[in-house]
């Protein structure tokens, strides 16, 4: 499927979460520039991405709205399905619903939820959510969720899941409409993600392997040292989270004293002038990464660099 799609159709822009009005303005700006897909993260506590997308849906016409991700355990899967139903009504065929486990410190600390078997819980969540969105009804009883209900219509909204570990890529291949990586070293993803997706799809007897949406950070500078310094600052929170620290170690890039090594940053971030960045994005697609989720990392001027990157993606 990827081979028949244009480069631009396979590169999405990550809208930084924050104030709703600014985010919606940026989504409109991206659509006007020719960007075909935007993505937005969501914290466990804070601005609600599906709500923002409902507002953005009625102020845009073409751009695809992807969540990357909605922390799934903060709401029952039927509740999220109800939100997805509204989004599809407002932006038919333009919604991709990415969900994930989030992290123990936020799920347990903020919500007081158990976080003992997150991948098993995500499996149940996915079974309920994707079934009701694709068939219009669901009846399910598991260890974590029970659900019985119908939707007035089955929108068929694609449901993707966040994935860092081999087991999560296998789950994505088995039951989802795609995997979304976040801060995955490119060599680790090449060796782990695609084989995991293939194993999961084969186990489920699926004819097609779901796509991998690969997160890649971009610094709009030709100065390697400035790029690394900006990334070290902007991405400094993630090594504190066990899922990421474990994934980096498994990939062969262990974190020392909370600091990324230069070798790891070179796997997570691309930099250069506009033409050079465009060439690197196209090269990643040529290497077999299905889609890219491009996140700007500010060096000197956050808003100006965001605008430049939007325009660059719109010209691909």
- Work out the average pLDDT over 186-193: 98
Q: Is the pLDDT of residue 176 over 50?
A: yes
By residue count, the chain amounts to 316
Q: Is the pLDDT of residue 260 over 60?
A: yes
Q: Is the pLDDT of residue 107 over 90?
A: no
Q: Considering the chain, what percentage of its residues have pLDDT values greater than 70?
A: 97
* Total-model pTM: 0.95
Domains in the chain, start-ordered, CATH in brackets? Answer: 2-40+163-315 (3.20.20.30)
C-alpha 174/C-alpha 168 separation (Å) is 10
C-alpha 33/C-alpha 35 separation (Å) is 6
Q: Is the pLDDT of residue 304 over 60?
A: yes
C-alpha 188/C-alpha 186 separation (Å) is 5
pLDDT digits (tens, 9 = 90+) for 237-254: 899 888 899 999 999 999
Average pLDDT over all residues of the chain = 95
Q: In this structure, are strands 95-100 and 159-162 parallel, antiparallel, or unpaired?
A: parallel
pLDDT digits (tens, 9 = 90+) for 203-216: 999 999 999 999 99
Q: Is the pLDDT of residue 109 over 80?
A: no
Q: Give the model's pLDDT for residue 58.
A: 98
Q: Give the model's pLDDT for residue 90.
A: 98
252: closest CA among 180, 162, 192, 196?
Answer: 192
- Work out the average pLDDT over 76-99: 98
Return the sign of the alpha-carbon dihedral for residues 84, 90, 91, 93: positive
Q: Is the pLDDT of residue 3 over 80?
A: no
Q: Give the model's pLDDT for residue 108.
A: 66
Q: What is the DSSP string of 115-132?
A: -SSHHHHHHHHHHHHHHH
Model confidence band, residue 1 (pLDDT cutoffs 50, 70, 90)? very low
Q: Is the pLDDT of residue 105 over 90?
A: no
Q: Give the model's pLDDT for residue 103.
A: 65
Q: Give the model's pLDDT for residue 116.
A: 85
């Amino acid at each position: 499927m990827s081979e028949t799609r244009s480069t631009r159709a396979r590169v999405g822009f990550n809208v930084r979460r924050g104030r709703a009005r600014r985010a919606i303005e940026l989504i409109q700006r991206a659509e006007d520039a020719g960007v075909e897909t935007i993505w937005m993260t969501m914290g466990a506590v804070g601005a609600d991405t599906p709500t923002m997308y409902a507002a953005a849906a009625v102020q845009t016409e073409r751009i695809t709205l992807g969540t990357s991700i909605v922390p799934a355990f903060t709401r029952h899967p039927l509740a999220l399905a109800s939100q997805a139903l509204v989004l599809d009504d407002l932006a038919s065929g333009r919604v991709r619903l990415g969900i994930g486990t989030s992290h123990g410190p936020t799920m347990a600390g903020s919500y007081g939820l158990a976080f003992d078997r997150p991948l098993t819980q995500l499996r149940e969540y996915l079974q309920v959510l994707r079934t009701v969105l694709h068939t219009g009804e669901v009846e399910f009883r598991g260890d974590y969720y029970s659900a019985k209900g119908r939707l007035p219509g089955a929108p068929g909204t694609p449901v993707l899941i966040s994935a860092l570990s081999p087991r999560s890529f296998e789950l994505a291949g088995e039951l989802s409409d795609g995997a979304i990586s976040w801060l995955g070293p490119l060599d680790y993803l090449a060796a782990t993600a695609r084989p995991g997706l293939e194993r999961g799809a084969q186990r489920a007897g699926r004819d097609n392997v779901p796509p991998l949406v690969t997160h890649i950070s971009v610094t709009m500078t030709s100065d390697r040292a400035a790029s690394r310094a900006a990334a070290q600052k902007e991405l400094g929170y993630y090594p504190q989270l066990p899922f990421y620290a474990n994934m980096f170690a498994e990939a062969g890039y262990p974190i020392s004293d909370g600091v990324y090594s230069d070798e790891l940053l070179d796997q997570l971030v691309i930099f250069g002038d506009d033409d050079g960045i465009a060439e690197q994005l196209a090269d990643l697609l040529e290497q077999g990464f299905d889609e890219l989720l491009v996140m700007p990392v500010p060096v000197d001027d956050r808003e100006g660099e965001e605008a430049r990157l939007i325009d660059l993606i719109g010209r691909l």
